Structure 1
């Protein structure tokens, strides 16, 4: 018995030893295949550009809107104010879209929510407006009203108080000196945490007032150039029959009566005409801590061409289409009014000094009724201030 057991164990040991040979062979083959697979994965990932991945809230109406327009966005942090950085959503065009000019800017992107770890990446700012389309639109309003003058007001999506203040003051001036005036507000997409609610409110506001235009760029300070060019695109494609247009900021007091007097003057041209507060020989700001910083690769010249200060400038309505077309060949940068100046320079259009330059004011130190009756534009501090000043001017005039 002992010998048989010993022989049996010896047979088992021999069998196990013999059976190990195929296992070793299979193991070598598996390791080889695993190595090949890992190498292929590594090669694929090193040849792909995966820097920009969609960073979007899931299962929200805002996400659905972005999916409908087939755009990708990344959460970025522009270092224009190092003490108070702000998160934005920056648009990236679809791969199959024609983008004739792009500008690459180094920005900082937050990697984690808990820390301030940052990486430098590049994002394309696309100014050419026909890479975008309108989500909220009033395509027939110019055909219905046939305006002489269209006031285009760029405003942030959440600034309902500013829009309502304008609607109850100078934006309510629909007929001035026998000419039809129309006011429209231009917004982009909200990039905040409350984007869903803001979008719903905008849609309801649009149904109520029929004066809201929304395009599918993200509404940030860095995208003001795109916003301005979208305004020009709308005027050229939806409202070419108007005689004049005006880009006027939402924090402005506008004396439409004085503006109409200027436009109806016999020496005011109706072609290649643009006027406002003219800026000459303005140096490009290279200080990275400045709100108006422009990198040298975005705009290499040390000085800007002649341009109109963006708070409010008026133009003959033949210019919007010309500006849109020439913008295809003008590298975009983030100072919107200077960018328009660069487009005008390429067109060979010289901005005109207004007959009375003091009518286009930046700030008036205090409210003086006689001065407000004389100006065309000036900056105010709040929507409530606009309402108060307008009420005083109208009730005592």
Structure 2
């Protein structure tokens, strides 16, 4: 801009006053562009720690069929690239079910507990099941040291997938969309997938039994603990605050709680494409609900709605043997309850 300005000034012999006027116009134009970009994202996405790919499209995919204009780049997952990846996971034999765990970079205790419990289940009711952990980038002054530990952990377990967005709570929508992108591009032949949080008790046997029931759709299917007519929280002190600028409607569309929802794998590419035209906000499960709405699709209630549960009042072995999901307080609880549910003997004996 400066070079053009100097050339323009020299050729046209602008006066000092005219030069100042042109410089002011350039300055105001730049301020407007930067301010517009900031206001668009700053109230619900972690802009400070946002690290998108520098080029679009990324990851070397064939995007020749992607004709929809991208309006909202921040949650569009192909603006990012994978730092740690496992492209071979689904090549030998496509899994029936892929469990994609959204977990914080620092939470190795949660990952280890899952590896020792429901994450070690690889053949369930005759069906192949894969469990993988999706991470963003660690932050802080010791970020490189943390990254080295993650690389070592991945060499040991071969189950970490990492993308180049900052791993923060506000970026859960980005993390979820990166999960969808990985499934769509690395494991498209899997029948079903589940996005699940790291603080969950998951009864994989019951989940596979449910998915194999007659009448369960193989396409355009999403189920879980379904919520309807949930009001958007406008309290700025709330963890789930969303501004009217990011989401103007007072009520969210129907969605499944992000603790753990299951979907047919054909939806993943559809979600990726839908994200081009949906303004991102920081409630990831409601964002997927927006994707379903944009696609003109409805969520499906599970065959037994009591199997998808959030919190429990007290541990009961029989009850835990019958559910699919429960939110836990700690990794220690997962190890304890899993060991009890799996011990010999009928869990519902009086």
**Aligning the two structures, in what range does the TM-score lie when normalised by the shorter sequence?**
0.7 to 0.9
Q: What's the secondary structure of 2:193's corresponding residue?
A: strand
Q: What's the secondary structure of 1:343's corresponding residue?
A: helix
Partner of 1:349: 297
How far apart in 1 are the matches of 2:115 and 2:97? 16
Partner of 1:287: 235
Partner of 1:197: 145
> Which consecutive residues of structure 2, in runs of 5 or more, have no partner in the other structure?
1-15, 35-40, 59-68, 346-350
Query: What are the residue-to-residue correspondences of 1:167-178 with 2, within 5 Å?
Result: 167-178=115-126
Change (3 A) 1:347 1:50: closer
Give the alignment's TM-score, normalised by structure 1: 0.73
How far apart in 1 are the matches of 2:57 and 2:31? 18
How far apart in 1 are the matches of 2:251 and 2:259? 20
Q: 1:145: Cα distance to partner?
A: 4.1
Q: What's the secondary structure of 2:98's corresponding residue?
A: strand
Name which of 283, 294, 297 aligns with 2:245. 297
Supply the RMSD in Å over aligned alpha carbons. Answer: 2.7
Q: 1:197: Cα distance to partner?
A: 1.4
Matched, 1:316 2:264: yes
Q: What's the secondary structure of 1:314's corresponding residue?
A: strand
Larger-gyration structure (1/2): 1
Name which of 97, 101, 113 aligns with 2:71. 101
Query: What are the residue-to-residue correspondences of 1:41-120 with 2, within 5 Å?
Result: 43=24, 48-49=30-31, 89-91=49-51, 94=54, 100-102=70-72
Q: 1:42: Cα distance to partner?
A: 7.0
Aligned residues: 313
How far apart in 2 are the matches of 1:277 and 1:47? 48
How far apart in 1 are the matches of 2:252 and 2:47? 28
Alignment check: 8 A CA contact 1:88 1:220 kept:
no
How far apart in 1 are the matches of 2:156 and 2:22? 54
Give the alignment's TM-score, normalised by structure 2: 0.83
Q: 1:192: Cα distance to partner?
A: 2.1
Partner of 2:275: 327
Identify the structure with bigger relative contact order (alpha carbons < 8 Å, sequence gap 6+): 2
Indicate the structure with greater strand content. 1
> Which consecutive residues of structure 1, in runs of 5 or more, have no partner in the other structure?
1-34, 53-75, 81-85, 103-124
Q: What's the secondary structure of 1:374's corresponding residue?
A: coil
Q: Deviations over 1:262-313 (max 9, x none)?
A: 0000111100111100000111111111111111111111111110000000
